Structure 1
Amino acid sequence: MNDIFDVVVVGAGPAGCAVAARLADARPDLAVALLETGPGSHPHVVHAPFGIAATVPRPSERNYAYRTVPQAELGGRQGYQPRGRGVGGSSLINAMVYVRGQREDYDGWATAGCTGWGWDDVLPCFRRSENNERGGDALHGVGGPLNVADPVDPSPFSGLFVRAAVEAGFPENRDFNGPVQEGVGLYQVFEKNGERWNAARAYLENGTRPNLAVIADTQALRLVFEGRRARGMIVAGAGGERLIGARREVVLSAGAFGSPQLLMASGVGPGEHLRDLGIEVLHDAPEVGGNLQDHLDYCVARLASSRDLIGVTPGFAIQFFGALQRYKKERRGLLTSNISEAGGFLKSRPDLDRPDLQLHFCISPVDDHGRKRHYARGFSVHVCGLRPESRGTVRLAGPDAHVAPLIDPRYLSAPEDLETLLRGVRLVHRILAAPSISRIPAKPLYDTSRESDETLRELIRARADTIYHPVGTCRMGADARSVVDPQLRVRGLEGLRVADASVMPSIVSGNTQAPSAMIGEKAADLMLAGI
């Protein structure tokens, strides 16, 4: 294989797949390489939406299953951080929820100096990436690679949750990506014909590209520089270490953990930290690996015996076998479910001008990421604060990029984040007290509405963890301390960009797959304008 390319993209998640495919399509004369640590093909458990129940809870070939450092405000617990590993990235194992966030998120980026990243600037990228099965309009696209669909066969319990929330006084919303985000309803998902439509299927299976090489099972170790210009990556694969060269640019799309890790392993980052590890400092960039933001989630779980719910029981095992046969024949039924079929966006206080909470309703008692089994059916309502004030870091555990980074979200280090979650849990209790759900016999696992505020705070500290949206560790900005400029170019270096969720200056108000793909689309536009 020719190991010299015009552009080398590192990381085949939603952003990396988008930027590599768009560049290759627009410029057939460019040789593009897309590097990925994990495998390039995937088994049926990945393609079936219900497979999330098997892929998220444990480490595997397709799940890094990182842990955080002990979290002081969570009682010293280590958090769990599942991240996708393979061509498709975290879109291989996530809940496939299609949410863009709020207009104000992106306008806030622009106001902070990220010219070209306001809502009106990024909306065309969202629409271009989308094929919404409901059809196109001013806010939605058709014909794009990311297929967006309504749930094929949602559980009746998801409808019960929506009705209960309406009874509790919250508006129903049939499109969280429409003019208004606030309300409750069923989520649209990245599915096609009952199958998970991950980023690789969306962007890489769409046509033949002789100028695009997808190089899987290959670990990126460190960048290679000629002076201050990036010239490629040292990688490790089946044949040992080698150089993948880049004539024009290298694009890091390895995610909020992987992109800062690769920069620091290459001598780009906080100088003192790198010197402590014996890494020669090429460029002292203090904010690399800083500004880590994530959505901290608390789960209100109930055990109930309905056949419309999921759990580890003999009866469900029999039911699952029948559902598997139906899925094989029709691509319908239980295995088309992402488990988190419904949810909503609510205000924790009536004086707020936009929602600051997100709910995910699951047709299973998803306790501790599904790692804790209760041998019963049930349901759960997850609540997270959308705009946390807490900021954390990603640091190297050692100079070798094979070693997992030190992830420290510093959850609840900003006291207001705890109070926002507390108010969110109270709203969930209000919904569960509404007639449509309260009439269902159910056993609380940990909490009820009778708990005092202080007891709920302690339960949050004891049980809250990520809902899988880490961002911000290669912050974009107009100031000299930002890691990348609004063109996504790494400051102080040449021929190097970052394009993934790590560039977000502030976290978006929702799930991160669609915004990550948008960043890849936008990166391709920026690069094509300058190549």
Structure 2
Amino acid sequence: MDLQTYDYIVVGAGSAGCALVERLTRDARIRVLLLEAGGTDRKFWIKVPVGYGVNFANPQLNWGYHAEPDPGLDGRAIYWPRGKVIGGSSSINAMAYMRGLPRDFDDWDAAGASGWAWRDVQPAFDRMERHLDRDGTDSARPEGEGLLPVSDLSDQMNPFSERFLAAAEACGWARRDNLSTATGEAVGYYRSTVRGGMRCSAADAFLAPARRRGNLRVVTGAMVRRVTVSGRRATGVRFSARGETFDVEAAREVILSAGAINSPKLLQLSGIGPAVLLRQHGIDVLHALPEVGRGLQDHIAISHVFRATAPTLNNILGRVVPRVSAGIRYALTRRGPLCVPVNQVGGYVRSDPDQPEPDIQIYCNPLSYWSGPKGRPVLDHEPGFLLSAQLCRPTSRGEVAIRSADPMEAPSIRPNTLATDHDRAGAARSVAIIDRLAQAPVLRDVTERRLEPAAELTDPEARMADFRARASTVFHPTSTCRMGPDAATSVLDARLRVHGIAGLRVVDSAAFPNVTSGNTNAPTMMLGCRAGEMILEDAATGAHDRRLAHAP
């Protein structure tokens, strides 16, 4: 493999990495190398929106991580899928697009991530997004802006979903046409990263245009073993691909965009992290940075499953003839139930009027299913629906830590779920919200019974026991290399630079000071776009070179 020195080396072609390299490669003078451990995303079930369930446990596309047994969830070792493919988790996620709430980002700013308040990030979202109406059209955008489609698919959603919205309105929650841009309590049809009836991942939106430029090289199947460091400056990376090991240099910066699990893992393997942990595994401590891997946050949701007396999506996807018919329609028109992701209705709600901000996110799916072997969804053949809820802003924090000095070994993921009184109370409120929604007459009138948990389970303590026995991650890990004011309490400064190491940044959801209130894919891509702009600004002003000059 013929490799040269690049200006920037980006590790990870996921949601943030793809957005980042699109911004960086706009400057034709800059040479960028993008390394991805996975392979191509040119696969049918990646592109078909309903293929989410098919790819959920596919080891060809997925790191297939499991968390450690979690005391807060009855000691269960929960499956934590993360994308290992071009596009990363944006190639295997459920495609729901939610920016988050203004308070999320104002809290980032207050935590020491100066310049990441809502007033700063809202324009970045606006520049990144292209909101598509039901017919796939939108208003004209300036060249280079609006690369990410955010589509209204409400006309393709199952008719049963309208009942969810009617039930939500009966609960007093306001309906909003474009839920993705909500800044307060609102429910509606989820908008999705879908274009022309097909998934539009970060690779489709950002990496595709970047690849048409001559200054980007993408290497797949590249397992990065460590960042190379000289003194207190990152100089490049060592990676393995096709049975060989390569060292490649970065003239300006190494940027980790490997995600909230693998970015702290790579820092630790490189000798940057908690000194005790590194010494335990025989790794030389190049820079003791205690918060690397710590601060992990995630959303935990509980789902209740119901049998319906009216037709739902199960009548199509759960039966052979209607499913084949839907497949033919999709092949011919790119429309119908296969072009719609699984999450159809939801939003941010307040569990009671005393809550100053929405504290619960709900998901309403016109489809009943269960988790089967290896977490793969198993469809019900009879009509049903599912109501889910999660606490928007948990306060529990966990940790990611290497198990050994072997780059091929999966890290230890310790979520520390329900570790705070706030989160335990939030779990109870999540269950109460589901009950409130399910009892709205428009849903109650078409409900035969609750399948899971059992209908007779009504005692509050038993409900919490059910939560601990069945609740699970919704795959939103963040904050393991969070931005903050100093090396004692954080990993990165407000420009995503690793404290104490020049020429090294982390650009992905690991950098979030706290998890946002909703789905994390949108803010992760926004962060990648803004990071690219920041890096180009630093290069133009010489801030990058001055920081390197002061590195020991």
Give how far 1:518 is off.
0.8
1:165-204 equivalences under 5 Å are 165-178=168-181, 180-204=183-207
Is residue 505 of structure 1 aligned with residue 509 of structure 2? no
Question: How far does residue 384 in structure 1 lie from its aligned partner after superposition?
Answer: 0.5
* 1:121 aligned partner: 120
Q: Which runs of 5+ in 1 are unaligned?
A: none
The aligned residue for residue 20 of structure 2 is 19
Give the distance between the partners of 2:332 and 2:277, measured in 1 at CA.
55
2:350 aligns with 347
TM superposition score normalised by structure 2:
0.91
**Residues 262-294 of structure 1, C-alpha deviation per residue, up to 9 Å, x if partnerless?**
000111111101111111111111100000000
Distance in 1 between the 2:447 and 2:67 partners? 37
Q: CA deviation at 1:147?
A: 0.5
Contact 1:182 1:345 in 2 (8 A): yes
1:445 to 444, 451, 454: 451
In structure 2, how many angstroms separate the alpha carbons of the residues matched to 1:97 and 1:289?
Answer: 27
In structure 2, the partner of 1:81 is 80
Distance in 1, matches of 2:332 and 2:497, equals: 48
**1:294 and 2:298 matched:** yes
| CA positional deviation for 1:176 | 2.6
Aligned to 2:530: 522
Aligned residue identity for 1:67 = H
Shift of the alpha carbon at 1:480? Answer: 3.0
| Structure 2: 5+ residue stretches without partners | 540-552
2:77 and 2:221 map into 1 onto residues whose CA distance is 29
1:399 & 1:59 partners in 2: Cα distance?
26
Residues 1:35 and 2:39 are matched in the alignment: no
Task: Describe the SS at the equivalent of 2:184.
Answer: coil
**Aligned residue number for residue 454 of structure 1:** 461
Provide closer, same or farther for how the CA distance between residues 455 and 141 of structure 1 changes in structure 2, counting only shifts above 3 A. farther
Q: Residues 141, 310 of structure 1: CA spacing in aligned structure 2 closer, same or farther, 3 A cutoff?
A: farther
Q: 1:136 to 1:309 in 2, by over 3 A?
A: closer
Alpha-carbon distance in 1 for matches of 2:188, 2:369: 19
Distance 1:77 1:233, change over 3 A: same
Letter of the structure 1 residue corresponding to residue 246 of structure 2: R
Measure the CA separation in 2 of the matches of 1:141 and 1:96.
25
CA–CA distance in 1 between the matches of 2:379 and 2:417? Answer: 25
Inter-partner Cα distance in structure 1 for 2:124 and 2:39: 28
Counterparts of residues 272-311 of structure 1 (less than 5 Å): 272-304=276-308, 306-310=310-314
When normalised by structure 1's length, the TM-score is 0.95
Which range moves more in the overlay, 192-201 or 124-133? Answer: 124-133
In the superposition, relative to structure 1, how do residues 179 and 160 fare at CA in structure 2: closer, same or farther (>3 Å)? closer
Q: Distance in 1 between matches of 2:120 and 2:491?
A: 21
Cα gap change, 1:311/1:82 in structure 2, threshold over 3 Å: closer, same or farther?
A: farther
Amino acid at match of 1:516: T
SS at structure 2 position matched to 1:473: coil
For structure 1, which segment, 374-383 or 192-201, has the greater mean C-alpha deviation from structure 2 after superposition?
Answer: 374-383
Aligned-pair CA distance for 1:529: 1.0
- Give CA deviations for 1:421-446 in whole Å, capped at 9, x if unaligned: 21121121111111221111433122
Amino acid at match of 1:512: T
8 Å CA contact 1:484, 1:498 repeated in 2: yes
State whether residues 507 and 527 of structure 2, in contact with CA within 8 Å, keep that contact through their aligned partners in structure 1. Answer: yes
2:130 and 2:456 map into 1 onto residues whose CA distance is 42
Output the CA distance in 2 between the equivalents of 1:425 and 1:33.
47
Is 1:6 aligned to 2:7, yes or no? yes
**Are residue 433 (structure 1) and residue 439 (structure 2) matched?**
yes
Query: Cα distance, 1:244 vs. partner?
Result: 2.5
Q: 1:234 aligns with which of 232, 238, 246?
A: 238
Alpha-carbon distance, 1:488 to partner? 0.6
Give the CA deviation at 1:107.
1.0
Q: 2:537 aligns to what SS in structure 1?
A: helix
The aligned counterpart of 2:549 is: none
Instruction: Tell me the CA shift for residue 401 of structure 1.
Output: 1.7
Q: Which position in structure 1 is the counterpart of 2:220? A: 216
CA distance in 2, matches of 1:305, 1:436: 12
Deviation at 1:449, TM superposition (A): 8.5
Identify which of 449, 465, 468 aligns with 2:472: 465
Are the equivalent residues in 2 in contact too, given 1:8–1:32 (CA < 8 A)?
A: yes
Structure 2 SS opposite 1:156: coil
CA shift at 1:454, angstroms? Answer: 0.6
Please state whether the residue corresponding to 2:38 is helix, strand or coil.
coil
**Structure 1 letter corresponding to 2:460:** D
The 2-side partners of 1:19 and 1:307 are apart by: 44
Change beyond 3 A, Cα 1:44–1:130: same
Q: Which residue number corresponds to residue 405 of structure 1?
A: 411
- What is the alpha-carbon distance in structure 1 between the residues aligned to residue 316 and residue 480 of structure 2? 38
User: Does the CA contact (< 8 Å) of 2:83 and 2:90 recur in 1?
Assistant: yes
RMSD (CA atoms):
2.1
- 1:141 Cα shift? 12
CA distance in 2, matches of 1:136, 1:522: 23
Change (3 A) 1:74 1:311: farther
- TM-superposed deviation, 1:104: 0.9
Give the Å deviation of 1:337: 1.4
Which moves more between the two structures, 255-264 or 224-233? Answer: 224-233
**Which residue is equivalent to 1:243?**
247
The match for 1:393 among 362, 385, 399 is: 399
User: How many corresponding residue pairs?
Assistant: 527
Would the alpha carbon gap of residues 390 and 311 (structure 1) be closer, same or farther in structure 2, given more than 3 Å must change?
Answer: farther
Seen in structure 2, the aligned counterparts of structure 1 residues 121 and 441 have a Cα distance that, compared at 3 Å, is: closer
In the alignment, which residue of structure 2 is the partner of 1:483? 491
Which of 310, 325, 329 lines up with 1:322 in the alignment?
325
> 2:150 aligns to what?
148
Q: CA deviation at 1:356?
A: 0.8
The one-letter code of the counterpart of 1:5 is: Y
Q: Is the 8 A contact 1:173 1:182 kept in 2?
A: no
The residue type equivalent to 2:512 in the other structure is: M
Structure 1 residues 317 and 65, CA, compared in 2 at 3 Å: closer, same or farther? farther
